[in-house]
Structure 1
Amino acid sequence: MHTAYLSEVAVEELPMTIECLEAHGDTILAGTKDGTLVVVGRDPEGDSANSFGQWHLLDAHKLFAKRPILQLKAFHGAAKAENGGGGADSSATLVHLASLTDEGVCFHVLQAGTASEFTLAETVWKTRGAHMFAWQEEHSMLAVAVKRRLLLFHWDGQRCTELKDMGLPDTVKTMTWCGDAICIGMRKEYSIVDTRTGAITDLCPTGYVQHPAVVSLSTGELLVNKDGV
C-alpha cells in the first residue's frame, strides 16, 4: 500500500498554543497565541539513518509580537548593503519574514551570522485589522485582506509601498496569487481579481463548504475546495 506522507514529531510539549506554521528550508517557524516565535531546526549531527533527521528547538522569541501570530511567510530578498563602489550589492540575499497579527503585517530580516534572530524592519500600519495575506515572491508583492478590502503593496527589502486599495463584495476567506492575478474565496464565490485594473471575475460558487480553500499550482492552474471536493 502506497503511503503518501510520513509523520514525525519535531518538538513535544511546547508550553504555548501554536496558531500558524511556516517551513523554510530545514527550519520550521511556529507563531503562537502569546506572540512567541518558535524556531525549530534539524540537527546536522543527528542520526543519518533517520530520514527526517533530528529536530531540536533553536530559539523561542517571547517578545516577537504582542498579540497572537496569525500567519507567517519566510522568503529570500535582496540585501540592501552598500558595496565598495557606493552602489547596492544586489547579489547578496537575506532571509525575510512577514508576520501577521491583528495589529497588521510586519516585515523582519534575519540578522547576519545568526540562524534565528530576526530584526523588525517595518510595520505596515494600514494593514491593522487584517486577517490574512498572500505573498508573491517573483515581484515581491504583498496582498492583504482587511475586512472587505484588498490592499496591494510592493516590498523592496526595506520598506513597503502601497499600490492599490480595492473594495470587495464580501470578506475574503482564502486567497492565493496566480500570476499577476489573485484568486479569492469568499462565502459563496471564488473570484479572480485583476491586480492591474481591479476588475473582479467570478470563477465558480463555493458550494456548501464552510471553509473555502484555494491552492495555486506551478502549472498555473488552481485547485479549489468546492462542495467538499
Structure 2
Amino acid sequence: MVHSAYDAIELVKNHPTKIESIASNGSKLLLACVDCSLRIYAPQSAPSSPSDPSSNGSIQRQRYVLEKNLGSFSRKPIVAMEISKSRNVLLSLSETITFHRLPNLELVAVVSKSKGVNAYAWDDRRGVLCFGRQKRVGIFRLEGGREFVEVKEFSIPDMVTSIAWCGENICLGIRREYMILNSTSGVPKKGIGPRTEFTRAALI
C-alpha cells in the first residue's frame, strides 16, 4: 500500500508573473512577485474577512481568484514574508525589512540598519527580530507596536545564508556549516559541524 504524505492542489492557475515569495492570511494568499507587486487571492466562494468563522482561518481546497493587485508595493522584489498573527501585521524582506498593518497594508515600520539584509528570523511571541547583514547579526525589539529598538549587534565569521530562533539562542547557517549564537553574549556554541550532520540534538 502506497502512502501519500500530502496532496498537491493547484489553487492559482496561469499566474501572469514569477512569484518570489508567498504568505497566507486566514484563507487568503499573498503573492509577492518579481515585478514588485503584491497580489492578494481569495477563494472564489470564501467570506471576505479572514476572521469569519466559516473560513476556518486556513487555505481552502478550491479555486482562488485575484482580489487585489497592489502594483509597486515594494521598491525591489520581496524575497521573504510572513504574517504576525498576534500583531496582525505583514513582515516582509525586500530592500529593507518592513511591517505593514493588515488588512489595509498601511506602513507601520521600517527597521533601521536592515538595508542589505539577506536573512531574518522573527520571534512573534517576544516581538524580537534577528537578521544577518554582511558579516554581522543584529537583534531588534518591537516597542509600542510601531518602533524597533536595537538590542544587540554581533560580528560573525561569514555572511549568513539562513537564520532561525532556537529558544533564546540563534541558529545561523554560514558557509557549509551551522553555528549556534548566544543572543545575549554573542558567544558561539562549539561543535555544531557541517549542515549535513546537523540534528535537532544540536539545539538542546
TM range (shorter): 0.7 to 0.9
* Alignment pair present for 1:118 and 2:105: yes
- Structure 2 residue 147 is matched with structure 1 residue 159: yes
Residue number in structure 1 paired with 2:162: 174
CA–CA separation in structure 1 for the residues paired with 2:44 and 2:151? 42
Quote the offset at 1:159 in angstroms. Answer: 1.2
Find the counterpart in structure 2 of residue 141 from structure 1: 128
- RMSD in angstroms over aligned alpha carbons? 2.4
Conserved in 1, the CA contact under 8 Å of 2:28 and 2:41?
Answer: yes
In 2, distance between residues paired with 1:45 and 1:160?
36
Check whether the contact 1:184–1:191 (CA below 8 A) recurs between aligned residues.
Answer: yes
Structure 1 Cα separation of the partners of residues 106 and 113 of structure 2: 20
Match of 1:69 among 65, 78, 82: 78
1:22 deviates by 1.7
**Cα distance, 1:44 vs. partner?**
4.1
2:21 equivalent to 1:29 = no
How far the C-alpha of 1:45 sits from its partner, in A, is: 4.8
SS in 2 for 1:169: coil
Q: Distance in 2 between matches of 1:26 and 1:204?
A: 40
**Per-residue deviation at 1:191?**
0.7
The structural deviation recorded for 1:205 is 1.4
User: Which of 120, 126, 131 in structure 1 is aligned with 2:118?
Assistant: 131
TM superposition shift of 1:141: 0.8
Partner of residue 90, structure 1: none
Which whole-Å deviations, capped at 9, do the CAs of 1:7-56 have from their partners, x for residues lacking one?
1111122222111112333222221112111222234459xxxx713322
What is residue 89 of structure 1 aligned with on the other side? none
The alignment-based identity, stated in percent, is 26
8 A contact 1:34–1:66 mirrored in 2: no
Structure 2 unaligned blocks of 5 or more: 48-59
Q: Deviations over 1:165-204 (max 9, x none)?
A: 1111111111111111111111132111111111111312
* One-letter identity of the residue aligned with 1:107: F
In 2, Cα distance between equivalents of 1:151 and 1:42: 38
Q: What is the DSSP-based 3-state SS (H/G/I as helix, E as strand, rest coil) of the residue aligned with 1:173?
A: strand
Taking the aligned partners of 2:46 and 2:32, their CA distance within structure 1 comes to 26
Which of 82, 85, 99 pairs up with 1:107? 99
Q: Separation in 1 of the partners of 2:20 and 2:165?
A: 23
SS of 1:7's partner is coil
**SS in structure 1 of the partner of residue 193 of structure 2:** strand
So what's the TM-score if we normalise by structure 2?
A: 0.83
Aligned length: 188
Which amino acid in the other structure matches residue 100 of structure 1?
L
- AA aligned to 2:23 is E
- Aligned pairs (5 A) from 1:42-121: 42-45=43-46, 52-78=61-87, 95-101=88-94, 103-111=95-103, 117-121=104-108
- Does structure 1 retain, via aligned residues, the 8 Å contact 2:11–2:61? no
In the TM superposition, structure 1's runs of 4+ consecutive aligned residues that sit over 3 Å from their partners are: 43-46, 221-224
Q: Distance in 1 between matches of 2:69 and 2:171?
A: 34
Aligned twin of 1:186: 174
Task: For residue 196 of structure 1, give the secondary structure of its aligned residue in structure 2.
Answer: coil
Q: What residue is the counterpart of 2:193 in the other structure?
A: 204
